[in-house]
A = this chain, B = another copy of it.
């Protein structure tokens, strides 16, 4: 099994899920700017014409695209059963949260905010959407360890996305429930390991483009 990923991108959620499930995989790094695989300088647009990560390649050569589909596939794998929802109600809730994170936070806020080609008005628009989404999420997460009754791929996705706020003007500290949720999850071994590994890789990526500022190096904990 191969996971095409870029450091600290939404594909990190699948890395967390695979670590949690104890499933071995080959991790193929994609330069999200050059749209090339690092190891062999391959053309990533041949893997995904949209140039997006993650893509999951299983033994049969099939390429599964789209983060929500990849996460749910891993959740259904033999070793991944613990990550999947149990029963109809939790399955529906899992899909509800994956959809919320994906559309309201990831796409609705961060895809705009992190797009180098987006105009300042687009970034301001994205920021204007963040507050109501975080209010809603915080009121749900208050007092909860996980989005469902146990750890699931929805938590893997949410911790990945909440982590991005550190690179924005939004102070997550205004939502104590989210800070607590995130701090707890960061202590899970699978989450901590994924974050540590991808932080280093992201540092290399920024350095390659001459964009590793001292502040960013400090945030990432790299030198």
Q: Show the binding face of A for B, using Cβ within 8 Å.
A: 49-50, 62, 64-69, 72-73, 76, 88-89, 91-93, 95-96, 98-100, 102-104, 106-108, 111-112, 118-119, 121-122, 124-125, 132-133, 136, 139
Contacts and interface: CB of A to CB of B under 8 A. Distances in A.
Nearest to A126: B122
A102 B69 CA distance: 12
Interface centre among A69, A124, A133 (most CB of B within 10 A): A69
Copies of this chain per assembly: 2
A64 B99 CA distance: 12
A132 B50 CA distance: 8
Given A107-B108, A119-B121, A122-B125, A76 B99 contact: no
Contacts of A119: 121, 124-125
A46 to B, nearest CB: 13
Given A50-B104, A119-B125, 11 more contacts: A49-B139, A66-B95, A68-B68, A69-B92, A72-B92, A102-B103, A103-B107, A107-B107, A119-B121, A121-B122, A122-B125
A161 to B, nearest CB: 13
A102 B102 contact: yes
Contacts of A91: 76
A32 to B, nearest CB: 15
A136 B118 CA distance: 21
Nearest to A95: B69
A107 B122 CA distance: 14
A65 B103 contact: no
B121 A96 contact: no
A73 B92 contact: yes
Nearest to A121: B121
Contacts of A108: 107, 111
Nearest to A52: B104
